[in-house]
C-alpha cells in the first residue's frame, strides 16, 4: 500500500505545500499534480464537483507523488464515507467550531473500532495501489484528518478541538475567520487581531502534536508561515493560478501600436 507521504512528513515535523482545486476537471487536476505540489485539495464545498468527477480527479492526481485530499461540503458520516470510498487520502471538514464536531469528523474517517466508517465497495484501494483487505487494515493509519479553523469560536475552542485523538492537522481559512470577526475578508489579513489568533492556533497545535495549516495568497507568505512553524501550507487554487497568469499575459501585450 502506498504510504501517505504527507501524513508521514507532517508527523516528522516537516512542511508540505499544496493548493486547492475548484474546477471539476480531471485534466486540470492532472496538470496541477504534475507541477510538484505535495498535496492537492479538491474543494467540494465551493466547487461544482460531483462524486464521479471527484473519483476521476483522484485517479489523475495519484499518477504523481501528490496526495489527493478533499474538503467535504458538509460534515456528516455519509459525505465523509463517500469521498473516502472514492479514493481521498485525507478529509478536511469545514468550519469546525467545537470538540463534538471534531469527534464526529474522526469517527467518520475511521473504520471500527476507532470510528464508524462502514466497509464496502469503492476505488479506495486503487487510490493507494493496494487491495481491499490491506486497505481495510491500514486505512485508519493513512487517512489524514483535518479540521478547518475558520471562525472566532473555533479559535476560542482550539484546545478542545485539537486535543481530540485522531485529529492530525488543522487548517485556517483566513477569509471566513475575518468575516466571523467582523473584518473585511482577506487571504492575507493585515489585522493584528488575525495574527494574534493565528499565534493562538499555532501554539495549541504544538501543545497537542497537531500539524498547523493555513491558506495563503503569495509565495512569500507561504515561506514566512513555514518559518513560523506552520506545516500544512496551501496557496490559492487552480482558478486563481489560471486567471492570474492569463491576466498578466494580457496586460503585458500592447495592441495599440
| Model confidence pLDDT, tens digit, residues 113-156 | 999 999 999 999 999 999 999 999 999 999 999 999 999 999 99
What is the average pLDDT across 58-86? 97
pLDDT band at 56 (very low <50, low <70, confident <90, very high): very high
pLDDT band at 257 (very low <50, low <70, confident <90, very high): confident
What is the average pLDDT across 207-224? 98
Per-residue model confidence (pLDDT) at position 91: 98
pLDDT in tens, 180-214: 999 999 999 999 999 999 999 999 999 999 999 99
Report which of 17, 63, 57, 60 is spatially closest to residue 37, judged by C-alpha positions.
17
Domain residues of the chain, as ranges? 5-245
Per-residue model confidence (pLDDT) at position 223: 98
Helix (H) or strand (E) holding 189: none
pLDDT band at 46 (very low <50, low <70, confident <90, very high): very high
d(CA 13, CA 109): 23
Q: Is 46 a catalytic residue?
A: yes
Torsion of CA 23, 171, 102, 166, to 10 degrees: 100
Which one is catalytic: 5, 46, 151, 208? 46
What is the average pLDDT across 52-57? 98
The three grid cell numbers given for residue 165, joined into one nine-digit string: 485523538
- Positions of E strands within the chain: 16-21, 39-43, 67-71, 90-93, 144-149, 169-172, 211-216, 232-237
Q: Is the pLDDT of residue 104 over 90?
A: yes
**What homologous superfamily does CATH list for 5-245?**
Phosphoenolpyruvate-binding domains (3.20.20.60)
Amino acid at each position: 500500500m502506498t504510504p501517505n507521504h504527507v501524513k508521514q512528513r507532517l508527523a516528522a515535523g516537516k512542511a508540505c505545500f499544496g493548493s486547492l482545486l475548484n474546477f471539476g476537471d480531471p485534466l486540470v487536476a492532472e496538470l496541477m499534480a504534475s507541477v510538484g505540489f505535495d498535496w492537492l485539495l479538491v474543494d467540494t464545498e465551493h466547487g461544482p464537483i460531483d462524486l464521479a468527477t471527484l473519483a476521476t480527479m483522484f485517479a489523475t492526481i495519484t499518477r504523481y507523488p501528490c496526495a489527493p485530499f478533499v474538503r467535504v461540503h458538509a460534515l456528516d458520516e455519509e459525505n465523509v464515507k463517500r469521498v473516502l470510498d472514492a479514493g481521498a487520502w485525507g478529509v478536511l471538514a469545514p468550519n469546525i467550531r467545537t470538540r463534538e464536531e471534531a469527534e464526529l469528523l474522526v469517527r467518520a474517517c475511521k473504520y471500527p473500532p476507532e470510528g464508524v466508517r462502514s466497509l464496502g465497495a469503492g476505488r479506495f484501494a486503487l487510490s493507494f495501489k493496494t487491495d481491499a483487505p490491506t486497505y481495510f487494515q491500514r486505512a485508519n493509519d493513512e487517512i489524514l484528518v483535518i479540521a478547518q479553523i475558520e471562525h472566532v469560536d473555533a479559535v476560542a475552542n482550539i484546545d478542545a478541538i485539537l486535543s481530540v485523538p485522531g485529529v492530525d492537522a488543522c487548517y485556517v481559512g483566513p477569509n471566513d475567520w475575518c468575516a466571523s470577526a467582523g473584518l473585511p475578508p482577506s487571504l492575507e489579513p493585515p489585522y493584528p487581531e488575525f495574527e494574534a489568533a493565528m499565534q493562538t492556533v499555532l501554539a495549541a497545535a504544538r501543545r497537542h502534536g497537531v500539524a498547523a495549516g493555513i491558506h495563503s495568497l503569495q509565495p512569500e507568505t507561504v515561506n514566512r508561515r513555514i518559518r513560523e512553524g506552520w506545516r500544512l501550507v496551501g496557496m490559492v487554487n487552480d482558478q486563481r493560478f489560471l486567471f492570474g497568469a492569463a491576466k498578466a499575459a494580457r496586460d503585458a501585450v500592447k495592441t495599440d501600436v
